[in-house]
Amino acid sequence: MRILVLGGDGYLGWPTALHLSARGHEVAIADSFVRRNYDFEMGTESLVPIRSLRQRVRTWELASGLHIETFVGDLTEAEFVYSVIGDFAPETIVHFAEQRSAPYSMIDRHHAVYTQTNNVVGTLNLIYAIAELDRSIHLVKLGTMGEYGIPNIDIEEGFIEITHKGRTDVLPYPKQAGSFYHLSKVHDSHNIMFCCKIWGLRATDLNQGVVYGTITDEVALDEALINRFDYDEVFGTVLNRYCVEAAVGMPLTVYGKGGQTRGFLDLRDTVRCIEIAVLNPAGRGEFRVFNQFTEQFTVLQLAEMVQAAGRELGLEVRVEHIPDPRVEAEEHYYNAKHSKLIELGLKPHLLSDSLLDSLMNIALRYRDRIDASKMMPQVNWRNARNARRPGASAEVAASGPQLTAVGANEERTK
Amino acid sequence: MRILVLGGDGYLGWPTALHLSARGHEVAIADSFVRRNYDFEMGTESLVPIRSLRQRVRTWELASGLHIETFVGDLTEAEFVYSVIGDFAPETIVHFAEQRSAPYSMIDRHHAVYTQTNNVVGTLNLIYAIAELDRSIHLVKLGTMGEYGIPNIDIEEGFIEITHKGRTDVLPYPKQAGSFYHLSKVHDSHNIMFCCKIWGLRATDLNQGVVYGTITDEVALDEALINRFDYDEVFGTVLNRYCVEAAVGMPLTVYGKGGQTRGFLDLRDTVRCIEIAVLNPAGRGEFRVFNQFTEQFTVLQLAEMVQAAGRELGLEVRVEHIPDPRVEAEEHYYNAKHSKLIELGLKPHLLSDSLLDSLMNIALRYRDRIDASKMMPQVNWRNARNARRPGASAEVAASGPQLTAVGANEERTK
C-alpha cells in the first residue's frame, strides 16, 4: 500500500514510517522539521542524539534495501499539501504532523494561537486536498485520549448511546479537553467527522494515550536510526521523565497527589496500532474512533513502578509531590474502553515487562546527556503568560502568586 | 454598566449597541467593517441602505443625547484587542465579531480556513486579553443552535445529564455542527469553557437560533439608524429571503423537502436576550449556556406562513422545492429546550404577529433595491470548491455532477 506519513521525522512518525516500510508498504514522509525547531526555542534536546532525516532514510535504505521518499514542507501551506498528495498519490495518509505538547500550548497567548492554528489549519488543508484530489484516501489521524477529559462515567470509543427523556441516539462522546493542545485535537475531530459526512471521506481518529519508550525493532537496527526521547517538562511524557530523573538521582516529580489516571502504551504498540488501522480501513463516509492505549495507571503508580525498577538496578529513587502546574482533578474516576484495536489483533506490550528493558536502560546509557534543569515545570496553567527562563527553579514557577488565585484542582466547571 | 460590543456595526451588533445605550449603559463598539467588505466580495448589498458607523453613532447622539464610543480594528490583531479593553475598561463584553455565514464558510478551502481562523483566533485573543487584564469581565458570546446539529434526542441548554453503565455525570452536550462556520462556534465553546475552568473567567454562551427582522425600537427612531437586512443566498437568513422573494413575485425557495426544523427568534428578542444576559452575569469560573430562540418551525412551515401573509397583501406567492445545497436531514426529530432566558424575564415576540409588520412591509418598501439574481444557492456543501459566478443559475450549482455523488441527505455518519 502507498502510505504517506505526515510528521514522519517525529517521535511517533519516524518509527511508524520504518515499521510500515519494513512491512512492505511504499512509504513517503512529509515533515517541516518544526519539532526540531521547538528544541532550539525551548533550549531542550532529545536524550538520545538523533540524525537528520536525510541520514536516517539513507541508513534505512542501506540497512533494509527499502526506499522512503521524503517531502519537506508545512501542512499550513496548502500548495505543499496538494502537491505532495498529487505527486505521491497515497492510498492512506497517517497524520502525526501537529504541535503535540500540552505545556507548549499553555506558555502564553502566542503559543496557544500557534498550536490551534497550526493544527486546525494543517488538518483543514489536508482534508480539503483529499476531498479535491482523491476521496478514496483513508485518513488515519492521531487524536488523544485527552479529548475526553475525565468524566465521571466510562469513556467509550468516540461515540456514546444516550437515552434521554424516552428517546435514544448515538452521539459523539462529550469533550472536556484540558489544554489548548488537547482542544486543538477536539476541533480537528469535529472538522473531520463533518467532512466524512458531507464528502464521503473515510477517516480513523486514533485517540491515543500517553506513549512511553523509544525503541522499536526497526529503530534498533542501527544507531543512525535511533528515535528521539524527550524528558523535559514541555515535550517529555511523564514516564520518560521519571526514568531520566531516576537515572540522575533526582526525585521523581509527581504533580500534586498523583491520582491523575490516564491511558498509556508502549511505542511498539503505537506503530502496531497504526498498522492495524491502515490495514483495516474505514468505509466511505465513515468516521470511526479507536481509543489507542493498553493500560491505565495513575501517575503516582508509575512513579512507584520506576522506584521499584530503580531499586533492582541499585538506584535509590525518591518520589516527591510538587504542586500540580495543570488545572486538573488529582483524584478521580477513570475507566476508558479500548477494545477495538485489540479486536483487530493488537497484542499489547505491558509496562511491567518493558520498563527495565526499553526505558531505564536508555536513561542510564545516555545519563551524561541529561540536563537536570529541564525537568521541573515552568508552565503553570493558571497563568495566561508564563516566562520560561533558563535555569528558573520549579519552585518559582509553581508557587507564583497566581498558583492558588483561581479555583482549586478539585473544582469542576459546569 | 460599561459594555463593549464587538462587531457592533453588524446585523445584530448595531441594534444591540443601541438597545443597551438606550437602557442607560455606557456602550462602546469595536468593529473592523469586514462584514461590509464581504458584500463587496459577494456582490451583495443590504436590502435597506445603511449608513457608515460614524454617521450612525452621530445620528444616535443627536436623537438620544447618548454617546457611543467607537474603536476600529480586528480581533485577530491581539494588540488591538488588548488596547481596546485596556482603554475602555468594560465590565461586560458582548462578542458578535465573527464571520457568521454557513454558506460563506463552505465556498472553498480558503473561506473555510478564513472562517475558522478568524473566529477561533479572534476569540482566543479576546479571552487571553480578559485573563491578562481583568478576569472579572463577563463575556457574553454569541454561539449558535447549529452547534448541536439535529440529534434524535431533546436538545438541552449546553449540558446534559448522562447515566451510563450505572454512573451519572453532567457533560457538555454533544456537538454535530453542519458547516465550517457552525464548527468554528463549537471550537469557540470548547475553548471558552476551558478558560472559565483554568482562569476563573465568567462567560455566557448564547446558542442563538435563526434571527429574522430588522427593526427594533431604537433603529426605528431615524432612517440613518436603520439596520442591515440581508436576503442573498450567502448572508440572508431563510425568513428574510422568503419575504424578499414574495415581494418580487419569485417562488419561495424551500431547500429539499423543507422538513428541516430550527429555532427562530425576532431581532427584538435578540437585543432583549443580550440585555438579560448582561444584567444577570455568570459567576466567577462559570461557563453557562442559554439557548436563545423563541419558536421552532420547519422551513416549509415558514414558507407557508409567508405565502399566507402575502395573500393578505394581495400577493400571489408560490412555494418551490429546490435541491438542498446543504448536506442535512430534510425530515427529522427536533425538540430544543429554551427556558433559561424566559425564566430570566424574556417576553417573546411571536412570528405570527410580526411577520406582516416588520418583515413583509420592509421587503415591499425596498422592493426596487432587490437583486433577484442573489437568492438561488450557489454554494453546494458537496463540492469542496464552489465557483460563485455572477448570474450563474441555481440549477447549474444545485444539479452539478457532485450533487448526488456522495451520500444522501438522510444518511447519518457514525
Buried b or exposed e, range A186-211, using 16+ CB within 10 angstroms: bbbbbbbbbbbbbbbbbbbbbbbbbb
Q: Do A183 and B178 touch (CB under 8 A)?
A: no
CB nearest B121 (choices: A117, A128, A164)? A117
Q: What is the pLDDT of residue B356?
A: 72
Which residues are CB-neighbours of A296 under 8 A, at least 6 positions away? Answer: A261, A262, A263, A264, A334, A335, A336
Q: Do B124 and A113 touch (CB under 8 A)?
A: yes
Tally C-beta pairs within 8 A across A and B. 198
Q: Do A406 and B287 touch (CB under 8 A)?
A: no
As a whole number of angstroms, the distance between CA B4 and CA B30 comes to 7
Q: What is the pLDDT of residue B358?
A: 73
Backbone angles phi, psi at B171, to 5 degrees: -125, 160
- Dihedral sign for Cα A74, B183, B285, A209, please: negative
> How close is the nearest chain A Cα to the Cα of B284, in Å?
9
Q: What is the pLDDT of residue B395?
A: 42
Q: Do A183 and B183 touch (CB under 8 A)?
A: no
Q: What is the pLDDT of residue B352?
A: 85
Q: What is the pLDDT of residue B353?
A: 77
ipTM: 0.94
The model's pLDDT over A138-157, given as tens digits with 9 standing for 90+, comes to 999 999 999 999 999 999 99
Q: Do A194 and B174 touch (CB under 8 A)?
A: no
Q: What is the DSSP letter of A248?
A: T
Residues of B in contact with A172 (CB under 8 A): 174-176
Q: What is the pLDDT of residue A108?
A: 98
As a whole number of angstroms, the distance between CA A127 and CA A117 comes to 15
Catalytic residue annotation of B:
144, 181, 185
Residues of B in contact with A185 (CB under 8 A): none
Question: How do A287-292 and A202-208 pair as beta strands?
Answer: parallel
* A161 vs A393 pLDDT, higher one: A161
Residues of A in contact with B203 (CB under 8 A): none
3-state secondary structure of B72: strand
CB nearest B152 (choices: A154, A169, A385)? A169
Residue of B nearest to A186 (CA): B187
Report which residue type is found at B408: A
pTM of the model: 0.95
Residue pair A391/A371 in contact (Cβ under 8 Å)? The answer is no
Chain-centre distance for alpha carbon A244: 19
Residues in chain B: 414
Provide, rounded to the nearest whole percent, the portion of chain A with pLDDT above 90: 91
Mean pLDDT of A53-76: 98
- Grid cell digits, residue A360: 531505564
As a whole number of angstroms, the distance between CA A309 and CA B36 comes to 66
Q: Which of B144, B175, B162 is nearest to B290 (CA)?
A: B144
Chain-centre distance for alpha carbon B110: 21
Query: Starting at the edge strand that comes first in sequence, how are the strands of the sheet with A26-31 ordered?
Result: A68-72, A26-31, A2-6, A92-95, A138-144, A202-208, A287-292
Residue pair A148/B171 in contact (Cβ under 8 Å)? The answer is no
Residue to substitute from B153, B165, B180, B337, interface A, most A β-carbons within 10 A: B153
Q: Do B125 and A109 touch (CB under 8 A)?
A: yes
> How close is the nearest chain A Cα to the Cα of B360, in Å?
35
The model's pLDDT over A113-136, given as tens digits with 9 standing for 90+, comes to 999 999 999 999 999 999 999 999
Cite the beta strand spans of A173-267 per DSSP E. 202-208, 210-212, 252-255, 261-266
Report which residue type is found at B21: S
Q: What is the pLDDT of residue B389?
A: 64
Residue of B nearest to A381 (CA): B198
Which residues in chain B come in under a pLDDT of 50?
393-414
Residue to substitute from A157, A187, A326, A383, interface B, most B β-carbons within 10 A: A187
Tally the C-alpha atoms within 13 A of residue B202's C-alpha that lie toward its C-beta: 16
Out of A11, A104, A181, A212, which one is annotated catalytic? A181
CB nearest A169 (choices: B153, B165, B169)? B153
- Residue A255 catalytic? no
Q: Do B153 and A164 touch (CB under 8 A)?
A: yes
Is the per-residue pLDDT at A343 higher than 50? yes
